Structure 1
């Protein structure tokens, strides 16, 4: 088999998924072993929330001026050992930390602690962690070992869901492969976080849309219900992703016409049904969010104020454009770098050359999609691309809008709290926005060679990721 044919063969879901596993497992396990406990964003609060749910407390409660609940004192003491390392690059992991943490058992005494950032998340967002913690406690596993075991299970679950997305996807397969192997994504996969499920489930949702757009088969009620249920799970774990519901309106997603006189294969757009499904999904999301947060919701402290920020925007609507421009101009580089890989508590940067190389890899991804021949994949019509673009832009705008209202001081011209990792689950949608080529002859052979070269860049880039991740982690936490 010629080299070009061999590289092209990895565009099939099965080969690509096997290659993905070969990369993701060793990089993920290295991150678990090399990252000291709780050195990923909000991991302490996520661990507390998972423990709370594993004890049967599906809803958090008010704790002081915020929200949280009672947590085993042994766990709180364990987190206190490593919290001083967070966002402090000068503080390294040492033998005394390991000695203080070793052998800590689950106690029994409880201490009320605050974890407002995660207290409002629905219980099912932590399913892998809850099951692992419950089993580990039942068989007498120590607190530190429970934490590491939870990270390992999270990694395996995330990889399995991503493999399912790769096998389902068409045009988005290589994008899912590349995004799932970025340092930021692998850091989330190998940590304790609700994003362990959120990110790969979003990949699955996009892969299902991709397959449906390619096959153009009528969508029946049962699979539609399943897709909407998955979308609701994603949105309730991160409400700004509500824009994904707009994907229901892609014209290529034709519906099966329902008749009273028996089965029928009539295909139609079904605008009324789509609107009903949209409103049902929004209501379900709202109900879950309200139920999950009502007992634990606490107002943000000054100088932040949700009501005050909304009032300021209503009185100054022309400032929205200025806020958007100023935010992107000031933080655009940070968004890109933290989307690619700023590990730890956003204190562990990769080498600058790595971010430049990531940009080249991204351009290679775009080129592969643009050079895909029509016939290999079905062309996506402009109307479908418009809906995908609206869904993507709406979700991104909601991310900035939600954090501007809830996390940014009133009247500030720059949005606070936005991180690049929030955009990771949405990136594969870009593959559906790009048109495929239609050419033949000598030009086609030249373009095919360029396409294979770009595919090769994407396929070998994770090797660079592994080497840079090793250097960054050792430098930050040990040297």
Structure 2
């Protein structure tokens, strides 16, 4: 359904995956007449497809014409061989990502290279491998909650149109979202549902706490919640969870030290705009009251787009899903949380988890303000709703405890109705989103 390289920053993510596949693990600085840049080599055939896709997105036909003006051109370019001479290309916005989040894409790319696949086949294989990996991680989380009704709330998050779209593209966000969801399922089971984790669940919780900060450093605060997981609910020795927390934090610090230099090139993503971490930080410190106004303006001006983006703003052309689909997702979430079992985290863990969520949101806004927003601008630029998907499951767990919306003592038969409501709502929302996206792109 999605044309090649029409996913969110999909070319940049392909470039990073291709670099990793060819042994370029750490960010590589490359010469650029406009300043510091980071990137690597990609096949000229992929670059030709990128150039065409970028031009097509920049010159979209006027509605009601389909946004994909010439499907035949994509088919012709996608049929070119992947094995081709290389060209230097910058992808500074993804160069800072560690290889963890790209492992499925790299495996798909390597398989395509081994069989001499075309560009289109390689991209499709990478997307498929990413989807399989993400779905597998989500399935593990749902399996861990198979005896708990809270799994329906998790299912709503997992099947949001934005979550599904990201999972089926070449992007680090797919694995990041899945890792965060898996970690949240296991942490919520132990801390909020007071259920004992099996041996494999306990070790998986520790493993995801190590991998998540490497997949996307912004979510390191989420992974640190491993330290407050009730020891009585883990099927391993208590020191192991602390060791995993330390290893995850150390890995985060080590990779941050390696990748921090890429921030110097982020201005290339915003030509004609002055972007500087140092200048922005000095402005905040010099006038904190003004920064509060920036936060207020961001909420007032951008809140509708951010909220819509969490449910689904699809592709490089930012096609919003139907408002009906958003409403159905909200109904499904309310019903799912409403008939889940009461959450019963103790007060300290509830407070720490809530604080962790707030700090994670602050980290997202802070990173975008320093690295992406023009110095002195009145809003924080680049805030997209999909960035908050990894926090959604734990946010629902906290909500389930703080807001007593509950159908109490529901026997299995009485729970069938809300379960059906959830399934019908999320599947219908997905179908509506897919139909609209297909119609807008292809007509």
> TM-score, normalized by length of structure 1?
0.79
Which among 278, 299, 304 is matched to residue 328 of structure 1? 299
Q: CA deviation at 1:427?
A: 0.4
Q: CA deviation at 1:210?
A: 2.1
Match of 2:116 in 1: 140
- Residues 1:160 and 2:136 are matched in the alignment: yes
Q: Does the 8 Å CA contact 1:323/1:413 hold for their aligned counterparts?
A: yes
Matched residue SS, 1:313: helix
Q: Does the 8 Å CA contact 1:166/1:207 hold for their aligned counterparts?
A: yes
Q: Relative to 1, partners in 2 of residues 1:454 and 1:148: Cα closer, same or farther, differing over 3 Å? A: same
Q: Does the 8 Å CA contact 2:82/2:122 hold for their aligned counterparts?
A: no
Within 5 Å, which residues of 2 pair with 1:81-92? Answer: 81-86=52-57, 89-90=60-61, 91-92=67-68
Q: For residues 158-209 of structure 1, give each alpha carbon's deviation from its aligned partner in whole angstroms, at most 9, with x where no partner exists.
A: 1111111101134642222111111111111111011221111111111121
- 244-253 or 385-394: which moved more? 244-253
Match of 2:310 in 1: 339
Match of 1:426 in 2: 391
Q: CA deviation at 1:283?
A: 2.7
Which among 82, 85, 98 is matched to residue 106 of structure 1? 82
Q: Does the 8 Å CA contact 1:154/1:191 hold for their aligned counterparts?
A: yes
Match of 1:15 in 2: none
Matched residue SS, 1:318: helix
Within 5 Å, which residues of 2 pair with 1:265-284? Answer: 280-284=247-251
Match of 1:414 in 2: 379
- 76-85 or 121-130: which moved more? 76-85
Q: For residues 109-146 of structure 1, give each alpha carbon's deviation from its aligned partner in whole angstroms, at most 9, with x where no partner exists.
A: 21111111111111222101111111211111111111
Q: Relative to 1, partners in 2 of residues 1:191 and 1:218: Cα closer, same or farther, differing over 3 Å? A: closer
Aligned pair count reads: 425
Q: For residues 97-120 of structure 1, give each alpha carbon's deviation from its aligned partner in whole angstroms, at most 9, with x where no partner exists.
A: 134314201344211111111111
Match of 2:64 in 1: none
Q: For residues 206-247 of structure 1, give each alpha carbon's deviation from its aligned partner in whole angstroms, at most 9, with x where no partner exists.
A: 112123224565999x98776454223222332221221442
Which among 429, 432, 440 is matched to residue 468 of structure 1? 432
- Residues 1:35 and 2:2 are matched in the alignment: yes
RMSD, matched Cα:
3.3
- 168-177 or 247-256: which moved more? 247-256
Match of 1:381 in 2: 346
Distance 1:58 1:437 in 2: 45
Q: Does the 8 Å CA contact 1:392/1:426 hold for their aligned counterparts?
A: yes
Which among 169, 181, 185 is matched to residue 191 of structure 1? 169
Q: CA deviation at 1:360?
A: 2.4
Q: Relative to 1, partners in 2 of residues 1:89 and 1:428: Cα closer, same or farther, differing over 3 Å? A: farther
Q: Relative to 1, partners in 2 of residues 1:188 and 1:218: Cα closer, same or farther, differing over 3 Å? A: closer
Moved over 4 A (4+): 215-220, 222-226, 273-280, 436-440, 443-453
Match of 1:67 in 2: 38
Distance 1:445 1:277 in 2: 37
Q: Does the 8 Å CA contact 1:339/1:424 hold for their aligned counterparts?
A: yes
Q: Does the 8 Å CA contact 1:218/1:254 hold for their aligned counterparts?
A: no
> TM-score, normalized by length of structure 2?
0.85
Distance 2:58 2:309 in 1: 14
Which among 264, 284, 307 is matched to residue 298 of structure 1? 264
Within 5 Å, which residues of 2 pair with 1:100-249? Answer: 100-169=76-145, 170=148, 172-213=150-191, 214-215=193-194, 227-249=205-227
Distance 1:204 1:446 in 2: 26
Distance 1:312 1:122 in 2: 31
Matched residue SS, 1:425: helix
Q: Relative to 1, partners in 2 of residues 1:135 and 1:245: Cα closer, same or farther, differing over 3 Å? A: closer
Distance 2:218 2:404 in 1: 37
- Residues 1:250 and 2:217 are matched in the alignment: no
Q: For residues 335-364 of structure 1, give each alpha carbon's deviation from its aligned partner in whole angstroms, at most 9, with x where no partner exists.
A: 111110111125212222222333322322
Q: Does the 8 Å CA contact 2:329/2:429 hold for their aligned counterparts?
A: no
Q: Does the 8 Å CA contact 2:209/2:224 hold for their aligned counterparts?
A: no
